[in-house]
Amino acid sequence: MNWLTTALDSPEFRTLGATSIHIDDYTEDDAVPTAFRLLDELVTAIHDTDLMAMLVIVTGLHDDIALAAPPAETLEAAWDHWTPPELYLIRRAPLLSPYVVEEYKKPYPPGTFTAPHGVYHAYYRCHRQGDTTEFTSGVYIEHYPGK
């Protein structure tokens, strides 16, 4: 996965400990199944347990906090089809800058999404950052290497 090498060498990752790519910047197919395939490829390519792969699928923008998580089996239909799914590479080290956010999170049951190794922890999240007025909702899938 050539994006991994580029991501690890990027100034953004070296400075912030995180970087991301919308999958349509990596491939012409921006569908949810392709996003999961690329997440699995990223997870398989990472051999450093200090790094975490994550996938975010945006499900909408709202004037008020939206508490209803889409069922996992309807995730492709729930995707907003505006914001391409986004892969993240995150250093697991503690964050050194505060992240001011108003949010609601609801986990999906363990095993909802199957990782090529380790486990995926998935949750629905609705949030707004700092002083913005709009809430963004999405499904977040984080990889953990397991024991």
Q: Which amino acid is at 60?
A: G
Q: Tell me what the mean pLDDT of segment 119-144 comes to.
A: 94
* Domain total in the chain: 1
The SS3 call for residue 80 is coil
Q: Tell me what the mean pLDDT of segment 65-81 comes to.
A: 95
Q: Tell me what the mean pLDDT of segment 57-72 comes to.
A: 95
**Would you state the pLDDT for residue 120?**
97
Range of the domain at 58: 2-144
- E strand spans, the chain: 18-22, 51-62, 86-91, 101-107, 119-129, 135-144
Q: Tell me what the mean pLDDT of segment 56-82 comes to.
A: 95
